[in-house]
Amino acid sequence: MKRSLALVAGAATVLTLGACADQTLATGAGCVVPESATLKKIEVAPGEDGQNMLKGKLPITAPETQQVFVVEKGDGGKVIGDVEGRTEQYKLVITAYNGNTGKQIVQQPVQTSVGESSGLKFLTNVAGCVTDNGKLLTVTKASDVWPTADQMFQDLAGDDAVVLEVDYEGKVPAPLTDDQLLPQAEGKAAKLPADFPQVDVAKNGEPTITIKDAAAKPAELKVANLIEGDGETVEPGALTYVHYKGVLWSTGKEFDSSWSRGGKAASFPTDGVIEGFRKALEGQKVGSRVVVLVPPAEGYGADWNKQQGGTEDDVMVFVLDIVGAQNK
């Protein structure tokens, strides 16, 4: 998955954006944070490496409370949060930028609700500022997005500013409910290739990943199955429900896991994740347990590897249980 913003909402993903739920915006109909004079003067444009970055007067000072600037109001429908037990889901692309350097931290396509049930306070606070095809910028403290920002980043403290670009791409169908998902992978057992890490699985499905001492770190993406499911085939762009755990090859250290967030499956479209994750999902059947070895070029890149304490050419090892899918 593209480096997770907060996978914040249980959504998953790698840096999890884990802000707490807020009661201020119950319906998502309002825009409850002030307009930012600073963001009016900031431009998002390609940098020398072709990746978008912030341009203008830097560094940006984090405001005491979150602020917003509407880039495009849009002409779509009203953005709705939690209303009378109904939770609408939206497809968004969220890009986070370092307020000190202007550099992009992560870009995350996600499917999520925007009401208080999402747990994404920074998103809930600005949900009603645009329509469901609009775009906005919002600035807040890094700790409001990543509560452990001080430990996660070398160049970004919890009190430093993070600018989030939130691009709405419309409402999506209601997600599958927990009782419509498999509790874990199920199907025909398969054997991993000898050059793959060892994977042991607890009764509840949570994997333990052990890198073998003599194993050579792969230079290319590798995918293999521990279980071959017999459910629906995951098609390109499908909303996929996955239990997963990821570790770095060089350290064996876990960097993201649905199991570490209460064991709730994450959901995301296959065209909204890193390339290595997409290739591991598309074409598989629901019920499969997949192990994928992801090099930097098809993962989060060399810089992210180093931020996690690994090497530039490090490999991410994911174990994925595909427990549900909604094809387009």
- For the stretch 152-171, pLDDT in tens is 888 899 999 999 999 999 98
Please tell me the number of Cα atoms within 13 Å of 236 on its side-chain side: 1
Residues 188 and 316 in one domain: yes
Taking the C-alpha atoms of residue 101 and residue 99, their distance in angstroms, rounded to an integer, is 6
For residue 60, what are the CA distances in angstroms to 127, 161, 308? 23, 6, 25
Q: Are residues 243 and 269 in the same domain?
A: yes
Q: Does 210 share its domain with 151?
A: no
**Beta strand pairing status for 188-189 and 67-72?**
unpaired
pLDDT tens string 56-76? 999 999 999 999 999 999 999
Instruction: Pick the last residue of a domain from 172, 204, 236.
Output: 172
**Higher pLDDT pick, 228 / 212:** 228
C-alpha 68/C-alpha 72 separation (Å) is 12
Same domain for 222 and 309, yes or no, is yes
Calculate the alpha carbon distances from 57 to 34, 54, 201 in Å: 20, 9, 51
- How many domains does one find in the chain? 2
**For residue 285, pLDDT beyond 80:** yes
Three-state secondary structure call for residue 165: strand
Please compute the mean of the pLDDT values over residues 115-141 and round it to a whole number.
89
Tokens of residue 304, six digits: 């992210």
Which of these three, 155, 172, 189, is where a domain ends? 172
Mean of the per-residue pLDDT values of the chain: 87
Domain at 166, CATH number = 3.10.50.40
- By three-state DSSP, how is residue 150 classified? helix
One domain, residues 184 and 304: yes
Tell how far CA 300 is from the center of its chain. 11
For residue 289, pLDDT over 90 is answered with yes
Residue found under tokens 């490090």: 314
* Residue 28 counted as domain residue: no
Residues 168 and 182 in one domain: no
Q: Of the ranges 21-30, 174-183, 279-288, which is most confident?
A: 279-288
**pLDDT-derived band at 81, boundaries 50, 70, 90:** confident
The last residue of a domain, from among 139, 156, 172: 172
